[in-house]
Amino acid sequence: MTSSKEVKQFYDNFTDTRMLQYKLYGNPRIDKAVELISGYLTPDSNILDIGCGIGIVPEQLANQLQQGKILACDLGENNINYAHKTVDSDKIEFFNVDVVENFEAIREKSASPFDLVTMVDVIEHLPPNSYDELFNNLSQVTSERVKLILTYPSPEFQAYLRQHQPEELQIIDEVIKVDSLMPFALRYGFDLEYFAYVDIWKKNQYIHCVFSKQRPCIPVAKPGLLGKIKRKINFYKSKLLLPFLKAKYIDRPNQSEK
């Protein structure tokens, strides 16, 4: 079993071996993830970005915020140090933390519930035995309107890498199937709202999915006097128009078929 120390060492080295390339040359995988997340942003979004790397995603999101804030977390100390030096935004707080070992530190940082949680290519790098606790923790620090956005390599692409480019796999690189996440999500009040295969360099290479908290089914409030009057008017209006609608949409089409 891979130790947390080994994982931290890997991602400290990852800053130089991979992250800086993304900063210099861009990355369409990240661009498409930002495009997905942007569709759920509001000017005052309170965002938790888990696995922020050197800050590429939160920097782009911060440019779309007005009153909103981002708590951007990463396991790699080198990543966070680099982000502090290169990302200039008063809307982002960078934080070096292991979300598997010390989620409590995030809880202490969250002054108000998060309404957007982003994990861009992160879930596949967490040990499967951490999923239950992860969803449990997220349920406790998020608002009722929260959107949890995950992007990760498709199972098909992971199989391709294992066969043809195993050197591209990271120290922990799990095959993620959405049905394996669902029991944990549902247990803590999240349900799948959106799921899609996304083409990057290859067909069906990545998965984008969005979870939201389940909303209870509650009775609709009874209409007031004005609402009752409108309902009565619509009722009699529909009765008055019914013969004309029946003639137009039922009788005439049936006659034309004969």
Residues 21 and 113 occupy one common structural domain: yes
Region of 51 please: left (phi>0), alpha (psi -120 to 50) or beta.
Answer: left
Structural domain including 250 reads 219-258
Query: Is the pLDDT reported for residue 9 higher than 70?
Result: no
Q: Which string of DSSP letters, residue by residue, matches 186-239?
A: HHTTEEEEEEEEE-SSSTT-EEEEEEEE-----PPPPP-HHHHHHHHHHHHHHH
When divided into structural domains, the chain yields a total of 2
Shared domain check, 21 and 90: yes
Phi then psi dihedrals of residue 19, to 5 deg: -60, -40
Q: Tokens 């071996």 — which residue? A: 17
- Give the pLDDT confidence of 161-181 residue by residue, as tens digits: 888 888 777 667 789 999 999
Q: Identify the pLDDT of residue 244.
A: 77
Supply the CATH number for residue 17's domain. 3.40.50.150
Give, in order, the Cα–Cα distances in Å from 190 to each of 33, 38, 228: 20, 20, 36
CA nearest to 55, candidates 26, 79, 24:
79
Residues 80 and 117 in one domain: yes
pLDDT in tens, 209-247: 999 997 656 566 666 777 778 777 877 777 787 787 777
Q: What is the pLDDT of residue 1?
A: 58
State the pTM of this model: 0.78
Whether residue 10 sits in one domain with residue 76:
yes
Measured distance CA(235)–CA(229) in Å, rounded? 10
The verdict on 250 and 145 lying in the same domain is: no
